[in-house]
Structure 1
Amino acid sequence: MGTNLQEILEEANRVLKQGGTLLVAEVASRFEDTRAFMTAMAQLGFKSVSKDLSSPFFFLLEFSKTAPPRPRPCAGLRLRPCRYKRR
């Protein structure tokens, strides 16, 4: 839910050991482009292990740390604000 997504993921990379697992569970409507997000995660040193995009509400993505992040901004790390519905 943070707004500084790149810094959050760089810190996750820093604290994980090589081969460590990062799980991302996020509201599906926040993703603008899932493919661009996956490419950006590769730039941050994570390899996609599995992804479950079957739910219309939440995406579950699993990554493994493969390398330190490349020191540049990752364009695909934009997420939309959450859309809440009144019920």
Structure 2
Amino acid sequence: MGFDIQRFSNGIDEELICSICGGVLQDPLQAPSCEHTFCQVCIQEWLSRSETCPIDRTPLELDQLKPVPRILKTLLNRLVSH
């Protein structure tokens, strides 16, 4: 599950929000073909019930997920919590 958006004092870019839980990405993973990004726990839970990307329904398996690009990790690390 992602971090609560209210935890951060500055605005949160949409790209940093998990579309499954609606929180700020926590331990994010990326789908290789469509490049959608999710919290690790959220996408693992999703894929235990479905074999598709939750956004575009592209076929997806747990072992296909990959780490997010370094720039995304940098943006997440720059968020200021209050």
TM-score (norm 1): 0.23
Task: Report which of the two has the higher share of strand.
Answer: 1
Query: RCO greater where, 1 or 2, for CA within 8 Å and sep 6 or more?
Result: 1
